[in-house]
Amino acid sequence: MDIDIWKVFASLGVPGLALGVFYMLFKSFHWKFPSVPRVWVGPLILLFMLIVGSITLYALTLWAPVNANGGSADNDKTKVDDSIDKEKIARLIAPLKRCSLEDDSSKVISYDLIYKFANPFYQTEWVYRSLNPRLTAKELDYPIRQKQDSIENGFYIARFCLYTEDKGVTDTTITIGARDHDKRLQSTRWEQLDEKAYGTAKPLVLIDQPDPDWVITKSAKWLTSSEGKKRLVVSLYNPFDTTYPGANISMALGDSYMYCISTGSTQIMKVALRKSADLDLRSEDPDLGELIERTANIQLGPCGEHDLRLDFGEFSSLSPKEENRIIYTFEISGDSDGMNPDYLSRFKYGAVFIDSEKVVPNKVNITNFDAL
């Protein structure tokens, strides 16, 4: 009988064994307690059971089994796939280069991510390039971006380089798109080379992930219409089954890689706005509606550079389950010299910013400046 009881205690782990020891001690000694009135026996037994049960449950949470990827087996909500074998993982991460050590660093940990959507529609380069993965941990001063990434056979592979020195890293959060995955760094292998320490953590494998629950920014690029007008086309994909409300969008442009801007002035720029699901530059432009004035802040630097900031305001809602193109057609006017229809052609680089946590990435570089 005692063996069976100890089996029950052992199945509860350390808290169960502690409870068993106290139980056996209670049986071994003949304790003499003052008699309790019969009316109090039931409430006292219930109170005792409640206290013991609460302590046992709390202890079980402290000593809960840890799964292979860190975190307790009960509270880890990130789906980790064990069906992918070690050989395949090794093949996927093999093309990635070793994390290099910076001059003032002596330790670095390579942490690899292998990610795959369950839906084949999202296993494409334009989706994976928009994931914008970043890693945070309490030991790190700022979020870490991937140093390298690649796409192969429907998998997205990324490598993070963690410069930890003596602090180490335990619990981490990897944000992919707008979705957080809480994980613990585990099984770090260390290698010493020239008094430098290179660590390799066990890869984080996230397979069969659900569809994105964020709007995907596909691109932002310049185009020229059949009438010679300059257009900025921002492409967004809405994966939701319903329309997605609009968000504020702005743009920044620069014409010089020299940073000697010290003074500035504000100019007026007129912009015609239109949202469209299709764009045909071969035909005549349709009516773009009312011309809307937007105020552009243009910093004029002593080196002759121009730095432009323009807030377009909020775009309208996005249609569900399709690519939406927001088109901004520019008509330039201003009081200062150089503010003419060809003014935009002076710029060499720029980016679009979307003020929404549910749009990823919320910053995208503008391409095709040759069209200006």
Q: What's the pLDDT tens digit per position in 72-86? A: 333 333 444 455 778
What is the CATH number for 143?
2.60.40
In a shared domain, residues 329 and 198: no
In a shared domain, residues 219 and 366: yes
- DSSP reduced 3-state for 169: coil
276 domain residue, yes or no: yes
164 domain residue, yes or no: yes
In a shared domain, residues 195 and 233: no
80 domain residue, yes or no: no
Q: Name the strand (E) or helix (H) holding 319.
A: none
Distance of CA 97 to the CA centre of its chain: 22
Residues in the chain: 372
User: Is residue 364 over pLDDT 90?
Assistant: yes
In a shared domain, residues 227 and 202: no
Q: What's the pLDDT tens digit per position in 137-156? A: 887 778 888 888 999 989 99
In a shared domain, residues 203 and 226: no
In a shared domain, residues 332 and 315: yes
Q: What's the pLDDT tens digit per position in 42-62? A: 888 888 889 988 888 887 776
Q: What's the pLDDT tens digit per position in 248-285? A: 999 999 887 765 555 555 565 665 554 443 333 332 33
Q: pTM of the predicted model, to two decimals? A: 0.68
Q: What's the pLDDT tens digit per position in 311-360? A: 888 887 888 998 888 888 877 655 444 556 678 888 999 999 999 989 99
81 domain residue, yes or no: no
Q: What's the one-letter identity of residue 294?
A: R
Span between the terminal Cα atoms of the chain, in Å? 88
> What integer pLDDT is reported at residue 63 of this predicted model?
60
Q: Could you give the C-alpha distances from 9 to 15, 16, 20, 229, 353, in angstroms and in order?
A: 8, 4, 6, 79, 59
pLDDT, greater one: 44 or 236: 236
Q: What is the number of domains present in the chain?
A: 3
Highest mean pLDDT among 25-34, 114-123, 176-185, 289-298 belongs to 114-123
Residue 261's domain spans which residues? Answer: 215-371
Per-residue H/E/C for 175-223: EECCEEEEEECCCCEEEEECCEEEEECCCEEEEEECCCCCEEEEEEEEE
In a shared domain, residues 226 and 314: yes
